[in-house]
Amino acid sequence: MPLNLDHLNPEQKAGATHLGGPLLVLAGAGTGKTRVITYRIAKLIEEGVPAERILAVTFTNKAADEMRRRIEELCPGKGALVWAHTFHAFCCRVLRQHHEALGLQKHFTIYDASDQKKLVTESMKELGLEEQTNKAPMYVSIISRAKDDLLDAQSYAIYAAAAVDSSRQVAARIYVAYQRKLEAAGALDFGDLLLKTCVLLKENQSVREYYQEYFLHLLVDEYQDTNHAQYVLTKTLAAKHRNICVVGDDDQSVYSWRGANIRNILEFERDFKDAKVVTLEQNYRSTPLILEAAHKVIRNNKSRKPKKLWTQKQGGDSIRVQELPNEMEEASWIVRRIEEQLSKGRSLKEISIFYRTNAQSRSFEEALRRAGYAYRIVGAMRFYERKEIKDLLCYARVVLNAADSTSLSRILNVPPRGIGKTSLERLENYAAANGLTLWNAFLEQEKIPNLTSSCRARVRELVALLEKLRAGVGGLSAGGAIARILEESGYWTWLENETETDPEAAGRLDNIQELLNAVREYEDKAKQKGQTIDLGTYLEEVSLQSDIDGLDPNQPAVTLMTVHLAKGLEYPIVFLTGLEEGLFPIGAGNSAPEELEEERRLCYVGITRAREMLYMTHAATRRIFGQVYANLPSRFILEAQLLSQAASSQAAAAPAPYSRAPRPEAPAGFRAPAAPAKSTGFKLGCRVRHPSFGLGQVMEMSGSGEALKVTVRFDDGRVTKLLVRYAPLERA
Ligand code: ATP
Ligand code: MG
């Protein structure tokens, strides 16, 4: 059956059917950019391009799966063939294939953020920077950003030497030590996956030419969030056929803190002078009111390509902005709105709650739990980061890669084997002094001074155990291998015994059971495609998972996530919460203009996820890490020209207290709810004029009569509290 392009508008069609050569689809949210990529791939396949010679890069594994699924629908039998991957997964595939060219071992381990932190901490100690190890996360991100910019340790050192800022020189030394350790462990961090692939393609002509020839078409979604390494990789791969299609929205670039460079998309036409540019303006996702609010916010950004979206949709509910006294009330208010929606026939899976920072999720969780509504948090503590799961995965890593000292030191004494801290230190010192991996130090334990004979015996036992496992897992599937590890390491028995004394042990056993189920499920899926999954493949799959990947949109539950993670997704009902100065935009008054613009883009992303209903909430006070802060409503609410319903009117209009979620008492010392002050004519949200400060908007009111005070945010950004009686303030 020929591909039906009737599901595309003329501009989308132009993108999908563009014959070849560079193509840029630059368009706002919800205009069908991702749809264009999918149809374009289907169209290429229909035109005879072999599916396996098309590379489609997406932002998450989940998006890649979704893309394959849609292609499969459009071109049966072809979905699985297309290389649809994230950048990292793609690089991993290439590096496994060509590991020898880079001197990597086949089963290189992929280190996650916590492994990175551990290695940076060790490197700092080695350099005599013990006192500063609390800064390890900062150095992890400096190193990661350097890799995003394709600066290896040596290049970074040269760059740092020229820098005035001495902390860069410290970072450079840490980077060198860290990289040495990483390499000795036969491990790659996330940045390395990209960096090493770029190095491979740059330095190895035959590999480069092979891939340049092989991929006939290259398509990249969410191109606005690519970093320099991804940019170079894309350009290199597309150099021969020049069939490169990038899709994105400069207004949705929200990952600059992770190295993304918005210039990549803005300068695509400079890089590819003959690029065809398609712009899409019709939005298919949201109601006109939602689009209007999104537009009013984003138009305040100076560095953007102007564009305005329109929709054929009509009507829709108005956007509701609500001020609440505090974060607990914010959560219970949302729960009441959810209840309302459910009574109108909506389902939980249609609802999503977004917040700026992970710490905000707790009050929503509590309120939802009290109300008995199912919810799921995306990107909270990942399953694979749990202690028992990570322990097991570290066993698996060591079995596959003995050089992985970080993982080996983790499992050395779990279950407890009587190899204590001091013994580990001696083993590690010996390894460091002799340029050995920890594993090799184990093998030479007889030569190490100061080890007790019982410790030596235990080290020998551990070596024997790991060698046995190594020999045993070869022919096993991933599930079989993990079961064998669990049994032979004594981990399972140990945890079982622990249940008598440790109340958490039972939960840990459940989690391990869940891990085994997950592996089996994954194996079954692969079996249907005629593939078998060995331990190495499984470890790689796990390492490359991103926060969003586990999200199952059909699960009957409210979804909670940060706005960052919501990029590319859509929900009928969205709660955008914590819209307060200082929180969203984060930092507010202290931010550089670029940072504020990024916060605004983030707000734009949040608003444009909503298909039908959008609620925006802000709390007058909020407890953050134990401290209570009084917050003004976010400037984004004002920019959207939406008036907040004050806490007081909400209280008056509130239905009978929600039966399952009683309203908590307001803490003492609460500021008086703002009340409209008719006598002066000032109202919350009204526009005012001041002879010296100019125009502004009333953000907050307190007191009454002679004591009436208003807090005004003037258009130049200044926020001032004024006693109305004395202030030369009038309504504008
Ligand atoms: P974002 O900027 O958020 O990534 P996008 O531009 O990639 O959005 P899509 O996710 O592809 O947009 O599409 C948004 C919604 O509009 C989806 O539900 C999609 O199915 C729908 N859609 C896109 N194009 C059309 C069309 N021509 N006809 C009907 N629905 C469409
Ligand atoms: Mg998209």
Report the 3 state secondary structure along 337-358. HHHHHHHCCCCHHHEEEEECCH
Ligand 1 neighbour 29 (Cβ under 6 A):
yes
With the most atoms of ligand 1 within 8 angstroms of its CB, the residue from 34, 35, 41, 569 to mutate is 35
Q: Which residue has the tokens 């802000």?
A: 618
Q: What's the confidence (pLDDT) of residue 698?
A: 80
Q: What's the confidence (pLDDT) of residue 102?
A: 92
% residues pLDDT > 70 (the chain): 93
> Which residue's CA lies nearest to atom 13 of ligand 1?
32
Q: What's the confidence (pLDDT) of residue 726?
A: 65
Pairing of strands 687-690, 694-702: antiparallel
* pLDDT single digits (tens) 198-217: 999 999 999 999 999 999 99
Spatial distance between the Cα atoms of 149 and 228, rounded to a whole number of angstroms: 5
12 CA closest ligand 1 atom index: 27
Q: What's the confidence (pLDDT) of residue 202?
A: 96
Of the candidates 725, 698, 722, 724, which has an alpha carbon nearest to the alpha carbon of residue 712?
698
Ligand 1 neighbour 329 (Cβ under 6 A):
no
| 588 pLDDT more than 80 | no
Q: Which of 190-204, 349-363, 581-595, 627-641 has the lowest mean pLDDT?
A: 581-595
Annotated catalytic residues are: 33-34, 221-222, 252, 609
* pLDDT single digits (tens) 320-367: 999 999 999 999 999 999 999 999 999 999 999 999 998 899 899 999
Ligand 1 neighbour 566 (Cβ under 6 A):
no
Q: What's the confidence (pLDDT) of residue 94?
A: 97
Band (pLDDT 50/70/90 cuts) for residue 717 is: low
Q: What is the largest CA-CA distance in the chain?
A: 90
Ligand 1 neighbour 38 (Cβ under 6 A):
no
Cα of 27 from ligand 2 centre, angstroms: 10
Cα of 5 from ligand 1 centre, angstroms: 14
| 645 pLDDT more than 80 | no
Cα of 32 from ligand 2 centre, angstroms: 7
* pLDDT single digits (tens) 538-587: 999 888 887 777 777 788 999 999 999 999 999 999 999 999 999 999 98
Helical ranges in 215-299 per DSSP H: 228-237, 263-266, 268-271, 288-298
Of the candidates 265, 189, 196, 198, which has an alpha carbon nearest to the alpha carbon of residue 226?
265
Q: What's the confidence (pLDDT) of residue 398?
A: 96
Q: What's the confidence (pLDDT) of residue 647?
A: 59
Ligand 1 neighbour 606 (Cβ under 6 A):
no
Amino acid at 396: A
With the most atoms of ligand 1 within 8 angstroms of its CB, the residue from 285, 311, 604, 607 to mutate is 285
Ligand 1 neighbour 553 (Cβ under 6 A):
no
Band (pLDDT 50/70/90 cuts) for residue 525 is: confident
Amino acid at 250: D
How open is the CA angle 450-456-458, to the nearest 5 degrees? Answer: 140
Band (pLDDT 50/70/90 cuts) for residue 672 is: very low
Ligand 1 neighbour 9 (Cβ under 6 A):
yes
Cα of 307 from ligand 2 centre, angstroms: 17
> Which residue's CA lies nearest to atom 23 of ligand 1?
32
Mean pLDDT across 592-599:
92
**What is the average pLDDT score of the chain?**
89
36 CA closest ligand 1 atom index: 11
283 CA closest ligand 1 atom index: 16
Q: What's the confidence (pLDDT) of residue 161?
A: 86
Of the candidates 210, 214, 127, 205, which has an alpha carbon nearest to the alpha carbon of residue 171?
127
What's the length of the chain? 732
Q: What's the confidence (pLDDT) of residue 219?
A: 98
Spatial distance between the Cα atoms of 351 and 570, rounded to a whole number of angstroms: 10
* pLDDT single digits (tens) 483-510: 999 999 999 999 999 988 888 888 899 8
| 373 pLDDT more than 90 | yes
Contacts for 520-523: CB closer than 8 Å, 24+ residues apart: 520/479, 522/478, 523/477, 523/478, 523/479
Three-state secondary-structure class, residue 434: coil
Environment class of residue 601 by beta-carbon count within 10 Å: exposed (0-12), middle (13-18) or buried (19+)?
A: buried
* pLDDT single digits (tens) 10-60: 999 999 999 899 999 999 999 999 999 999 999 999 999 999 999 999 999
609 CA closest ligand 1 atom index: 3
Which secondary-structure segment (H or E) carries 188? strand 187-188
Ligand 1 neighbour 35 (Cβ under 6 A):
yes
Q: What's the confidence (pLDDT) of residue 274?
A: 95
| 529 pLDDT more than 90 | no
Ligand 1 neighbour 568 (Cβ under 6 A):
yes
Q: What is the DSSP string of 537-596?
A: HHHHHHHT--GGGG--TTSSSEEEEETGGGTT--EEEEEE---BTBBTTBSGGGS-HHHH
Mean pLDDT across 677-682:
55
Three-state secondary-structure class, residue 4: coil
With the most atoms of ligand 1 within 8 angstroms of its CB, the residue from 12, 284, 286, 309 to mutate is 284
Q: What's the confidence (pLDDT) of residue 503?
A: 84
Cα of 685 from ligand 1 centre, angstroms: 35
Q: What's the confidence (pLDDT) of residue 690?
A: 79
Q: What's the confidence (pLDDT) of residue 553?
A: 79
Spatial distance between the Cα atoms of 428 and 409, rounded to a whole number of angstroms: 9
Which secondary-structure segment (H or E) carries 613? strand 610-619
With left for phi above 0 and alpha for psi between -120 and 50, is residue 418 left, alpha or beta? left
Band (pLDDT 50/70/90 cuts) for residue 707 is: low
Of the candidates 351, 283, 276, 343, which has an alpha carbon nearest to the alpha carbon of residue 311?
283
With the most atoms of ligand 1 within 8 angstroms of its CB, the residue from 34, 74, 265 to mutate is 34
Q: What's the confidence (pLDDT) of residue 19?
A: 86
8 CA closest ligand 1 atom index: 27
Mean pLDDT across 404-433:
92
Cα of 34 from ligand 2 centre, angstroms: 4
Band (pLDDT 50/70/90 cuts) for residue 706 is: low
Phi and psi angles of residue 612, each rounded to the nearest 5 degrees, phi first: -120, -40
Spatial distance between the Cα atoms of 333 and 339, rounded to a whole number of angstroms: 10
Of the candidates 301, 226, 296, which has an alpha carbon nearest to the alpha carbon of residue 266?
226
Ligand nearest to the CA of 252: 1
Cα of 29 from ligand 2 centre, angstroms: 7
Ligand 1 neighbour 31 (Cβ under 6 A):
yes
> Which residue's CA lies nearest to atom 28 of ligand 1?
7
**Between 531 and 721, residue with greater pLDDT:** 531
Ligand 1 neighbour 186 (Cβ under 6 A):
no
Q: Which of 58-72, 299-313, 401-415, 688-702 has the lowest mean pLDDT?
A: 688-702
Pairing of strands 320-324, 610-619: parallel
Which residues are CB-contacts of 545 (< 8 A; sequence separation ≥ 6)?
61, 382, 384
Pairing of strands 730-731, 687-690: antiparallel
Spatial distance between the Cα atoms of 325 and 630, rounded to a whole number of angstroms: 10
Of the candidates 565, 558, 599, which has an alpha carbon nearest to the alpha carbon of residue 580?
599
Name beta bridge partners: 401: none
* pLDDT single digits (tens) 87-140: 999 999 999 999 999 999 888 999 999 999 999 999 999 999 999 989 999 999
* pLDDT single digits (tens) 437-478: 999 999 999 999 888 999 999 999 999 999 999 999 888 999
Ligand 1 neighbour 32 (Cβ under 6 A):
yes
HSE-CB of 192 using CA atoms within 13 angstroms: 23
Distances (CA, A) of 86 to 65, 159, 311: 10, 30, 31
Ligand nearest to the CA of 29: 1
Cα of 222 from ligand 2 centre, angstroms: 7
pTM of the model: 0.83
Cα of 568 from ligand 2 centre, angstroms: 5
Mean pLDDT across 614-641:
90
Spatial distance between the Cα atoms of 596 and 604, rounded to a whole number of angstroms: 12
Cα of 341 from ligand 1 centre, angstroms: 24
Ligand 1 neighbour 437 (Cβ under 6 A):
no
29 CA closest ligand 1 atom index: 2
Spatial distance between the Cα atoms of 251 and 248, rounded to a whole number of angstroms: 9
